[in-house]
Amino acid sequence: MAHFIIEPEEEVIASSVLKFKNTSKNAEKYSWEFGDGTISESPDPEHQYFHSGHYEIRLIASKGGQSSVHRQQITVHAPKTCHVLIKTNLGDMIVELFDNTPLHRDNFIHLVEQGFYNDLLFHRVVEGFVIQGGDPSSRNAPLTKKIITNGNEHKIEAEFNPENIHLKGALAAARMGDQVNPEKKSSGHQFYLVHGSKVLPETLDHAEHSKNFRYSSAQKNTYFSFGGSPQLDMEYTVFGRIIHGLDVLDAIARTKTNAEDRPLENVWMKLSVIN
């Protein structure tokens, strides 16, 4: 007899990982349908829904010529903050956008919904620092092409917030250098994800003295535990963070690159809003 339990049992939020515990009896094969076009033959699968709504999950458990079906309805709720799915050829990441950087949040959502980022590349990868993408000139760019940022691109006013720091997995806006951009305005479309490296106490001490601000004890401990790139704090606007897929960030950061930090094999992206 087909039967299953969904874990966790609390309210299901889009992008959260659901585990399906198979409690079927006397079966050898299993066929799952999750109601969003996705199927699985794993005995105990995991699944993510990327859009809110009502779904019917169906499990067919079979042995020999006999089969049994169990159905269960599930309601998936939209996240309370905005989440964006970043699909790449090396795996998927999910980022949460911060509400305390509304200019960057709304601009990013607009570009994602317009399909702006689809098929663009992570054109700059520096292990232990950042992976950067979003340059429109990277679309269909030959591997021999050097991706050069256009300084005439749309810019966004900086939204520095001491709560938003460059921990591993932080999402931030790229920008032109201080010489041509003293107000530290952000690129309207290029972004980076912090890969980072180990952070020592003296590194944070230097950052505090040079930039005249203080890290909280919790921020320091998180830096020490997870690493990051604190030299970028209060210099570039952080407007989100990875909440799923840090292993994919690691995989991209490990790709081999040329002298200009461009991966020798393209790493493309497709972005969509989770709602």
CATH 2.40.100.10 in the chain is located at 83-274
On whether the pTM is more than 0.85, the answer is yes
**pLDDT, tens digit (0-9, with 9 covering 90-100), for 169-228:** 999 999 999 999 999 999 999 999 999 999 999 999 999 999 888 999 999 999 999 999
- Are the C-beta atoms of 80 and 14 separated by less than 8 Å? no
Average pLDDT, the chain: 96
Return the percentage of the chain with pLDDT > 90, whole number. 91
Q: What is the pLDDT of residue 10?
A: 84
Q: What is the mean pLDDT of residues 118-141?
A: 97
From start to end of 89-237, where are the E strands? 91-97, 120-126, 130-133, 155-156, 170-173, 186-187, 191-194
Give residue 103's pLDDT band: very low, low, confident or very high (50, 70, 90).
very high
Direct distance between the N- and C-terminal alpha carbons of the chain, in angstroms, rounded to an integer? 35
CATH 2.60.40.10 in the chain is located at 4-77
Burial readout 155-194 (b: 16 or more C-beta within 10 A, e: otherwise): bbebbeeeebbbbbbbbbbbbbeeeeeeebbbbbbbbbbb
From start to end of 16-107, where are the E strands? 17-22, 29-33, 39-40, 46-48, 53-63, 66-77, 83-88, 91-97
Relative to beta strand 17-22, strand 4-7 is antiparallel
**Rounded to the nearest 5 degrees, what angle is found at the Cα of 40, between the Cα atoms of 35 and 43?**
120
- Are the C-beta atoms of 77 and 14 separated by less than 8 Å? yes
Q: What is the pLDDT of residue 150?
A: 66
Q: What is the pLDDT of residue 145?
A: 86
Q: What is the pLDDT of residue 151?
A: 64
**83-274, what's its fold?**
Cyclophilin (2.40.100)
**Rounded to the nearest 5 degrees, what angle is found at the Cα of 245, between the Cα atoms of 242 and 250?**
100
Does residue 92 surpass a pLDDT of 90?
A: yes
**pLDDT, tens digit (0-9, with 9 covering 90-100), for 54-80:** 999 999 999 998 999 999 999 999 999
**4-77, what's its fold?**
Immunoglobulin-like (2.60.40)
